[in-house]
Structure 1
Amino acid sequence: MNAVTDATAVDWARVRADFPLLTREVHGKPLVYFDSANTGQKPEAVIEAVDDFYRRHNANVSRAVHALGTEATEAYEAARAKLARFLNVRADELVLCSGTTFALNLVAYSWALPRLRPGDAIVVSRMEHHANIVPWQLVAERTGATLKVAELDERGDLDLERLYALLTPEVRLLAVAHVSNVLGTVNPVREICREARRRGIVTVVDGSQAAPHRALDVAAIGCDFYAITGHKMCGPTGTGALWARREHLAAMPPFLGGGEMIKEVRFEGTVYNEPPHKFEAGTPNIAGFVGLGAAVDYLSALGMAHVEARERELLAHFNEALAAVEGVRVFGAPREKAAVVSFLVEGAHAHDLATLLDLEGVAIRSGHHCAHPLMQHFGVPATCRASLAFYNTHEEIDAFVAALRKVRRLLA
């Protein structure tokens, strides 16, 4: 099917009705929620799944043989299996954790820290979220490794020629976003990982902004590690996962110690559990993962191809509508782009603009978006960011533009 057929194959008004929060008003105005890159809204099915777990099944996982303990463990592991199918990976290679930040730190401290030495190098891109920069800086400080930065071209795409030139023999690891949380740039991660693999470089992909919006085949990408965050993909906060090649998980030492990650503890020494449980110390966010499993079911039923087509359609309308507003500067025009638009309005500070738009019921993000190096690249301290999802509407885009024009007049 082509993109138009895909987008119109779903009753999007009915889908929107699945999200109770979207019916509320803010400051007496209908809510226009354009902040899904920050966190996604939750469908009724996810809210009900979490509620049902606490009402009927609440118990700890892998701790008890009673009925509730068995039910909780089965629900938790079912969520792992659903997420593995969603990503097209093996369930026993999927570590459940609190989100991408934890996942990237797990790789930094359990894979990179024991291996890197003075003279080694790590490559990151200019567009990375702080969560895909700071852990590598911390590891570099402790190991004597250095950090190298892959820059962007004038469109806001990764300059691939310059990136590949950086992949010299001392580079041990390359960390890159699948989709930029500021520019919406969709990086060609399959090609990038192939070039890194040819050079013997381990690859880490931040999939936070990809998993909620695109059909994923992590196995086909060819990376070594892939991290996702559940709350951006209609699931509860405090959920996410790290996928890693089995050989890496087997060789990596535990990141945290405690219950569940052990087989046997003696004062003479401890025998660790098999991956992925080796990296899941303590009581997890069980209800959250039950909710994430429901979110995966919901997205899978919609079809990620339909989601992607719908958001592409909304982005086209948004770009056309925003272009008609005078004094707007849009950051980045990448060749392939997700439904994320960063912008400024002439004469207005980003925070002032976002505050006034909030009074009109419009929720957008303002600030540096946890991407200081990217703001420095553009020479600005902050931008406004509108990020759309499949549950948004064309009417909301028009309402946003009307509110933007009103606010612009107030600031003139």
Structure 2
Amino acid sequence: MSVSLVCVFNDPAVREQCLDRSVAGSDPATVELVVVDNTDHRFTTAGAALNHGARLARHDVVAFVHQDVYLHSTSRLLEVAALLRADAGGWGLLGAAGVGPGGEVVGLLRDRVQLIGRSAVEPVEVDSLDEVLFLVEREVVLREPLAEDPDLAWHAYAVEYGVRLRELGLRVGAVDLAITHNSLTVNLARLAEAHHRVAELHPGAVPVRTTCGIVGAEPGWLRSSAVGRRHGWRRRGLAESLVARRARERAGAGRPVLADVRLDVDDIEIVAGERVRVVNVDATGAFSAVAGDPLQLTRRGEPFELVAVHDATDLVAHLRSEMPGPLLCTNLDLDGLARLGAAGLVGGDAVIGIHESDIWLLTGVATDRLPRAWLTGRAVPFSALRPGAAGTQHRGSAGATAASAMALPAPRGGGRGVLH
């Protein structure tokens, strides 16, 4: 089996650190890297650039991939490529991350510093695929190219392509590909226009669930109202505050915040000479079995070491064997957090983070070096639900902490499925 990786890039340093390094040493007879230089903005759409790369490719399967992706296993990539070439299954498009009919992210991968997605060792049919990495047979994409529509310039082109191939009788699926997506930004510019264009092109296919929302869905009256737009976050905040209280009790120490660490990790101030150690707990074992070895990457010039372990026992053993310094543990559950607390690994400086159902822990960083967004009202659990809090005032009220009442920038938005 052989694959041509096609990547359009605008930052050579990012591409060299991630994608190039991950395939260095691969046999070009089986894994070919085709790079399309767009540093001069010659291509105005991703579709035009990737179609150009597909025409240059030499192998029968093409994998379109972002420049900031690290492939932990080219063997796994070849296994998935073989599924496209096989007659069984009827697969036309397979990718590293998709969204199923129920709205769940399918495909286990590391997005920035956290594992996301439900593991799919075998392909699972999905509504749509994310653009981060997806595979198609070269003869298919030459016959049916990616859209070069300006409204789909840099968003939802894989979503549209999946809808189109499904209309041609092919199946679209997500599958584990063991990748780390070292994204530095969340670029949502013109996303709404892209979703609207997909709905225009395929009115009979909507609604389509994606990693960035639902194409063709009409917002409910409450969400679209002024009250909903202003206060809709409070419902999620209440649920996360309940989890935060239980998490703080199980850990025995630490300060809870409500935040998506993937969006805020680059706002942690790192002291010169330090490196941030990131440990992901992979309860399934599917990611850690392939990508468990330490991976050295930089984010905005700061050094990170990322490793995946299978369970809390492995996590405790790993942490005890490592040197002290900034430490971020993600994908924890309450039992795992309790294990860390019982092992004395949750100190008074620890931050316990809650985002939707995700729990993470940060230690070894002084309070004055934490992201300012974690001091805003939305990041502070409801005061009535904070451990040891007196009274029943809500976040942002006069009874909240002085820090939460400071005029600080609001935390950046984004859900757990955002991969851009």
TM-score w.r.t. length of structure 1: 0.30
Comparing both chains, which one has the higher relative contact order based on Cα–Cα distances under 8 Å and sequence gaps of 6 or more? Answer: 1
TM-score w.r.t. length of structure 2: 0.30
More strand as a share of residues = 2
